Amino acid sequence: MTDMTTGPALRRIVGFALPLTAANLLQQGYLLVDSVVVGHYLGVEGLAVVGTCGPLFYLLNSMFIGLGTAFTIRLAHLRGAGQEGQRRGVVLSLALLAAVWSAGCVLLATTLAGPAFALMGIHGPLAVSCAQFFATLSIGFPGMFGTAAVSAYLRGLGNSRSAMWVQAVGSVANIALVWLFVAVLDGGVRGAALATVVSSTAALVVGLVYSAKVYPVPRTGSAPAVRRELVDAIRLGFPLASQHIILSVGIMVLVWIIQSYGAVVLAAFTVASRLELFTCMLFLDFSGGVTTFAAQNLGTGDSARARRGLLHTIALTIGLSALVAGVVLLARSPIAGLFTDDLATQALTEHYILIVYPFLVLYTVMVVAHGYLNGARRTTAPLICTIIAFVLVQIPFAYLLHGPVGVDAVMWAVVAGWSAGLTYSLFCLRRVLFARPEPVLSTAP
């Protein structure tokens, strides 16, 4: 288990984040490969299917990750406070949540996916293909959410390197299987979903075996402790999950706005969203590193060290954001051509990059700030930030202006949302940095 309460602050945070980045880059690499394979073998229509289903899967997956982050924070607080004997209740409640969540999401996916696509304005053959893709994908929900739970457990113990290897198993298997099922076996969009099902299940098995061997769950504990941990995790994680609900519903609204422009625009925005996830992954992991770092150090009462680590990480984030944005802007043509041969889709993807990427630093600094707020157990602040940035700024901006301005309004709405979100995040951060740290919650009987 990594102790982040000693040693150089930035080195601890970066050392924690880089293994997660390596794993997530593999995962996003799979998503990019998936888009490349689907785009070249199934055409623009295949990309449209994947892009349309994305918000629904993001809704279910990110809600669970939000709840799982609460367990990561709790484990990190226990680690910093030297109360690791209470780990059993946390682990058992996390396992219970993963099992119930998986079963519930499979049920929802098989009953509500069709109506959800209809609300997004997706009808006809595209809706049928989307339903087939999502129904197949739902078979793998236990593996996906189970793997996310194992990763949350390992990150809470400070072992991001092991979390990296567990996630890497699934990503590497995904890359190989999507090529096999789509390009070789001609499995269509169902084949692309099946690749995720098989690989996520394999990753879960590897993660459970490793965790049981290296970090066995303490045998002491009680059912009341499990209930208390579960209630506390839901209370702490609900704002995080709600944040992702808002993002997912908002993305569905954006799909509804742009679907009237046709499959080419849907395909271009699918490529752009995958590219954003890939290029922002390092900064999202910086955010996760700051969360664990702040939780451990605030758990020991060392708020000055927690602040120092945050400020150093923000400085590094600004420099790296400028570098990443510059590379993407210069390479926008080959990047767009990598996904599809359709010239209209390529041109629209390049146009999106030109508008959005000069402002990338607004988003990256915002997510790092959210990492500290989460580690300080102020999880409501990022939720309010999402409401302001996405619900009150980005979606109305896109909806009101897409008629007179065209699809460019949807792109500029991203920049407007980032600007509003960063402004509010810095306002909250200033208050939290100089507030008295909240005491570690104890669930000892």
Distance in angstroms (rounded) separating the CA atoms of residues 291 and 160: 13
383 assigned to some structural domain:
yes
444 assigned to some structural domain:
no
Tell me which H or E stretch contains 32.
helix 9-81
Distance in angstroms (rounded) separating the CA atoms of residues 180 and 387: 41
CA pseudo-torsion sign 68, 74, 80, 84: negative
Residue type, 316: L
Tell me which H or E stretch contains 301.
none
Cβ count within 10 A of residue 32: 20
**Domain extent for 292:** 9-433
Cα first-last separation, the chain: 25
Contacts for 156 with CB less than 8 Å, ≥ 6 apart: 71, 72, 73, 74, 75, 76, 79, 90, 292
4 assigned to some structural domain:
no
pLDDT of residue 112: 73
- In terms of C-beta density within 10 A (0-12 exposed, 13-18 middle, 19 or more buried), how is residue 364 classed? buried
pLDDT tens-digit map of 373-404: 988 888 888 889 988 988 899 889 888 887 78
Write out the two tokens for 358.
């000069």
Distance in angstroms (rounded) separating the CA atoms of residues 408 and 395: 13
Mean pLDDT per segment of 10 residues, for the chain of length 445 residues? 75 82 71 72 74 73 80 76 68 86 84 74 76 83 89 80 80 83 80 86 90 76 68 77 73 72 76 80 87 84 88 94 94 82 84 92 94 86 88 88 82 91 92 61 41
391 assigned to some structural domain:
yes
443 assigned to some structural domain:
no
Residue 259 has what DSSP assignment? G
pLDDT tens-digit map of 424-444: 999 998 888 766 544 444 444
Number of domains within the chain = 1
Closest CA to 150 of 243, 86, 230, 214: 214
pLDDT of residue 430: 85
